[in-house]
Each structure stands twice: as C-alpha cells, then as structure tokens.
C-alpha cells in the first residue's frame, strides 16, 4: 500500500526553509508569517514521524533525516515547475497577441486576417488596440504594428508599408451647386482632422499652395476611424491615408476629389522583442504579413 503524501504546504515550507536555512526568509518568500512556517514544518514532522530541523541558537540545521529528504523534495518541486512551464509554453504557442492602432486594425488588418487563420488554424490571434506604445516587458504582447521611423530601443522592427496623404470625402460633396471641383473649393468646406495626425492637412495645403489658416479649422477627432466615418457621412473633407481609406474608396463610400497626393515621411513597422523573433507563431505571422503589406 502506497504511503499517504504529506501536506503539500508543509513540503513547500520545508523546501524553502532548507534552501534559505531561515524560517524568516522562507516566510517572506511564501508570503506568510514566520509562525505559520514554523507550524507547517512541525505538522510535517508530525506527519512523517521524523525531525527535519535542529533549532540552534544562531539558526537552523538539517537533521540527518532532513538531509536525506531534501534532495527528493527539491527535485519534485523543480519537476512541478518545469512541467507547469512546459504546459504554459505549449498553450502560449497557439495564441499570438498583437497590439496595433484601432484604425489600422479596423480598416486594414481585420479584412485580411481571415487568410492568416485559413493558413494557420492552430494559431489564435488576439488583437488589442491602443494609441500608446506597449511595454513588451510585461509579456502580455507578442508583437505590435507601430507607426514611425523604425527605431525603437531594444526591439526588432521590420518595415511593412508607407502611406500617401490625400483629401477624401463623400461622393455627395462632388455634386450640386457647392460641389468640390478644385483644391481652392476647400475654402468653403469643413475640414476633418485626427488629433494623432495633426500636421496632415497643413502638409497637404502647403504642397497645394493654399493658405494655412484653413488647416486649423474644422472638426477634430481622437481616432482616424471616427474621422473617416465623418467623411463617409458627408460632414466634411478628411485627409486620407492609403492604409485607412483604400477599402472605403474601393466600395464607393469615399472618393478622392483631387489628384494631388503626398508621400508620408514615416511608415508602419512590425515590432517585437528579439527573444520572440524565432517563435513558431511569430514566424508564421511575420511570413504572412510582410509580403501582404508590401503588395498593398
């Protein structure tokens, strides 16, 4: 008949106390009181019928039984830790968490993501959106798509695509007596701005040789998604970025009233910590995304 296993909490207290040779240090590690550690070890000694520690004036010492018992207990806990790590790592291999901008996710990434799922049905993609830079040190995010110039300390980045800037509006604004026919007609139009891209209108108006006073007027939204929707609803004229408006133009919800466009001085990058570069899930996502973005 197999011997009944002693209390797991008692074994944890014994292993920690033996490693530190201190009930106080073991208590701090286990987040309990020193009295609790002492009680757990006395209970363990009572269960197995052997003394494990000798309480000395200047500290602790293992008895001969404690010395014999410790290697097996330590190995058992190490095996449990390794088994748990392997289990979590295996589970984690099937989940890819991506951080990106709300507008990029809604307007560009999500319509294309089904093809990745078709190619890799065993990888679940979780998308979180934020205008702030994510902290990869927390371990919650595997990869991000960021807008910038490709330089983020301690991270690997790979160029995906760049945008062009150009005005977009509802088809309704191209008809009637007040229709937009030339850039000069913007003087009587409502300009729609996105706070994150506050210089877009100024750059385009400068290139078009138009007064800049207009660039500071109109409606301003926090998210590009809202700005684009306002343009679709006929509330005014927005500066479109290729990535954010190409689908709406293709579907006829938006039109490009003027021919002039400007290249942006930054672009979108795939960004991730170097230690995750060769994981199976990130490799699969990168190999799918990079050719797709560059074709776009």
For the record, the structure tokens of 197 come out as 């891209």
Low-confidence ranges of the chain (pLDDT < 70): 1-3, 85-92, 214-216
**Sheet strands (E) in 109-155:** 124-129, 143-148
- Residue 282 is assigned to a structural domain of this protein: yes
> What is the extent of the structural domain holding 50?
8-92
- The C-alpha atoms of residue 205 and residue 75 are separated, in whole angstroms, by 70
Please give the angle made by the CA atoms of 39, 43 and 49, to the nearest 5 degrees.
145
- What is the model's pLDDT at position 65? 92
Q: Are residues 106 and 80 in the same domain?
A: no
Our count of domains for the chain comes to 3
> Among all chains, which residue has been given the structure tokens 């210089």?
199
**What is the DSSP-derived secondary structure letter of residue 176?**
S
Q: Are residues 82 and 136 in the same domain?
A: no
**Sheet strands (E) in 57-190:** 59-62, 95-100, 124-129, 143-148, 156-168
Neighbours of 247 (CB within 10 A): 16
The contacts of residue 181 (CB under 8 Å, 6+ apart) are none
- Residue 257 is assigned to a structural domain of this protein: yes
Q: Are residues 50 and 25 in the same domain?
A: yes
- The C-alpha atoms of residue 294 and residue 296 are separated, in whole angstroms, by 5
- What is the model's pLDDT at position 3? 61
Q: What is the CATH number of the domain that holds 36?
A: 1.10.10.10
- What is the model's pLDDT at position 91? 52
- Residue 123 is assigned to a structural domain of this protein: yes
Neighbours of 123 (CB within 10 A): 18
- What is the model's pLDDT at position 193? 93
Nearest to 99 by CA among 139, 60, 66: 139
pLDDT tens profile 204-231: 988 888 887 766 678 999 889 999 999 9
Q: Are residues 118 and 128 in the same domain?
A: yes
pTM of the predicted protein model: 0.62
Q: Are residues 142 and 272 in the same domain?
A: yes
- Residue 2 is assigned to a structural domain of this protein: no
- CB-based contact 144:116 (threshold 8 Å): no
- What is the model's pLDDT at position 84? 72
Q: Are residues 146 and 284 in the same domain?
A: yes
Q: What is the CATH number of the domain that holds 103?
A: 3.40.190.10
What are φ and ψ of residue 95, in 5° steps? -130, 125
Q: Are residues 237 and 169 in the same domain?
A: yes
- What is the model's pLDDT at position 216? 67
Nearest to 183 by CA among 259, 246, 264, 263: 259
Q: Are residues 171 and 254 in the same domain?
A: yes
């Amino acid at each position: 008949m197999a011997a009944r296993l002693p209390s797991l909490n008692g074994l944890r207290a014994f292993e920690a106390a033996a490693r530190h040779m201190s009930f106080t240090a073991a208590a701090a590690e286990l987040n309990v009181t020193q009295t609790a550690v002492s009680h757990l070890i006395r209970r363990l000694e009572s269960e197995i019928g052997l003394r494990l520690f000798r309480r000395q004036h200047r500290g602790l010492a293992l008895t001969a039984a404690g010395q014999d018992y410790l290697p097996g207990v330590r190995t058992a806990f190490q095996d449990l830790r390794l088994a748990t790590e392997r289990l979590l790592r295996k589970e984690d291999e099937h989940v890819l968490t991506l951080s990106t901008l709300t507008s990029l996710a809604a307007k560009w990434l999500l319509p294309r993501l089904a093809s990745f799922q078709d190619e890799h049905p065993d990888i679940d993609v979780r998308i979180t959106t934020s205008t702030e830079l994510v902290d990869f040190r927390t371990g919650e995010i595997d990869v991000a798509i960021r807008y910038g110039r490709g330089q983020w300390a301690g991270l690997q980045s790979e160029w995906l695509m760049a945008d062009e800037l150009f005005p977009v509006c509802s088809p309704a604004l191209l008809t009637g007596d007040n229709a937009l026919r030339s850039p000069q007609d913007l003087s009587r139009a409502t300009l729609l701005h996105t706070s994150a891209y506050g210089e877009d209108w100024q750059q385009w108006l400068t290139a078009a040789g138009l007064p800049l006073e207009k660039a500071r007027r109109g409606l301003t939204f926090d998210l590009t998604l809202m700005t684009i929707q306002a343009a679709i609803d006929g509330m005014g004229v927005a500066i479109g970025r290729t990535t954010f408006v190409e689908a709406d133009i293709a579907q006829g919800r938006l039109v490009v009233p003027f021919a002039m466009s400007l290249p942006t001085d930054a672009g979108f990058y795939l960004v991730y910590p170097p230690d995750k570069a060769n994981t199976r899930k990130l490799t699969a996502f990168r190999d799918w995304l990079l050719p797709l973005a560059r074709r776009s």
